[in-house]
């Protein structure tokens, strides 16, 4: 089979996604939330094209010790915690184990929050249409965690927008988000980077630069 890329780079992927998201353009209630780090360049371009506000969805999956890809929950800044009771009860995971894993992930969340956001307060989510963006999905575990955390804050709608993901992951996310926009669902999947000609690593410095550029054009949210 002849090998072909789907996207030249994240900018091209963002353009295709933005075309599919035009129904959300120029709406004051729309907030684009990027999953760092790879989702930030794509979310930046989408927010520009939609004339929408941009911010971060800082969330860390709570992986089962020894099987970290399996999520037993998720944690977000401000103390928001979402637990997967089915996994926890099925594996007999203790509260002490959950607390230990959560402490480690909360430390990393706070590091990223300081590095990316500084003193800027988190945006209001309640009552808004939230577009969650990443540069691709494999299992979808992190995105499912992000949906759960956002859902707790009572948005009007949750839209997942990613350039590429396996068909079964997209099908599963459609049960949890209000809409899933994913223009490419190749099989076999073989990993996100397989579908980009240029899949360069996104650094903390890249994230900060894009956020600062976006935030210069939009007012800071009111502190809660």
Q: Can you give the CATH number for the domain in which 22 is found? A: 3.40.50.2020
Find the helix or strand (DSSP H, E) in which 102 lies.
helix 95-117
Q: Is the pLDDT of residue 47 over 90?
A: yes
Tokens standing for 5? 């890329």
Tokens standing for 94? 């203790």
The predicted pLDDT at position 69 comes to 73
Are 136 and 42 contacting, i.e. CB atoms less than 8 angstroms apart? Answer: no
* pLDDT tier for residue 3 given thresholds of 50, 70 and 90: low
Residue 64, strand partner residues: 67
Helix (H, G, I), strand (E, B) or coil at 185: coil
User: Mean pLDDT for the chain?
Assistant: 91
Mean pLDDT value across residues 78-106: 89
Q: Is the pLDDT of residue 66 over 70?
A: yes
The predicted pLDDT at position 97 comes to 96
Residue 215 CB burial class (10 angstroms; 0-12, 13-18, ≥19): middle
Tens digit of each residue's pLDDT (9 = 90 or more) over 108-135: 888 888 889 888 888 999 999 999 999 9
Are 151 and 173 contacting, i.e. CB atoms less than 8 angstroms apart? Answer: no
Tell me if 79 is assigned to some domain. Answer: no
Please give the tally of structural domains in the chain: 1
Which range has the worst mean pLDDT, 74-83, 200-209, 212-221? 74-83
Tell me if 102 is assigned to some domain. Answer: no
* pLDDT tier for residue 222 given thresholds of 50, 70 and 90: low
Find the helix or strand (DSSP H, E) in which 179 lies.
strand 179-181
Q: Is the pLDDT of residue 77 over 80?
A: no
Tell me if 77 is assigned to some domain. Answer: no
Range of 28's domain?
A: 10-56+122-215
Distance CA 140, CA 208 (A): 25
Give every CB contact of residue 85 below 8 A, 6+ residues apart in sequence. Answer: none
Are 163 and 13 contacting, i.e. CB atoms less than 8 angstroms apart? Answer: yes
Q: Is the pLDDT of residue 21 over 70?
A: yes
CA dist list (Å): 37 to 33, 86, 168, 177, 216: 12, 29, 24, 21, 20
Residue given tokens 């800082």 in the structure block: 58
Q: Is the pLDDT of residue 1 over 50?
A: no
Tell me if 135 is assigned to some domain. Answer: yes
Which of the listed ranges 8-12, 81-85, 137-141 does the model predict with the highest average pLDDT? 8-12
Tell me if 165 is assigned to some domain. Answer: yes
Find the helix or strand (DSSP H, E) in which 31 lies.
strand 30-34
The predicted pLDDT at position 78 comes to 67
């Amino acid at each position: 089979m002849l090998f072909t890329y789907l996207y030249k780079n994240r900018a091209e992927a963002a353009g295709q996604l933005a075309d599919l998201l035009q129904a959300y353009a120029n709406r004051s209630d729309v907030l684009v939330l990027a999953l760092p780090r790879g989702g930030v360049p794509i979310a930046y371009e989408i927010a520009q094209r939609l004339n929408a506000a941009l911010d971060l969805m800082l969330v860390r999956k709570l992986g089962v010790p020894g099987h970290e890809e399996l999520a037993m929950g998720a944690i977000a800044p401000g103390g928001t915690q979402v637990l997967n009771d089915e996994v926890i009860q099925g594996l007999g995971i203790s509260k002490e184990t959950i607390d230990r894993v959560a402490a480690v992930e909360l430390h990393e969340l706070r590091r990223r929050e300081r590095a990316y956001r500084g003193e800027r307060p988190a945006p209001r989510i309640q009552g808004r249409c939230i577009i969650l963006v990443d540069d691709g999905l494999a299992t979808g575990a992190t995105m499912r965690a992000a949906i759960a955390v956002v859902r707790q804050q009572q948005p009007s709608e949750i839209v997942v927008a990613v350039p590429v993901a396996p068909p079964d992951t997209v099908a599963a996310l459609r049960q949890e988000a209000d809409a899933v926009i994913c223009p490419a669902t190749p099989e076999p999947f073989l990993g996100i980077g397989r579908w980009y000609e240029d899949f360069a690593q996104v650094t903390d410095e890249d994230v900060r630069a894009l956020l600062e550029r976006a935030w210069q054009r939009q007012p800071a949210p009111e502190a809660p």
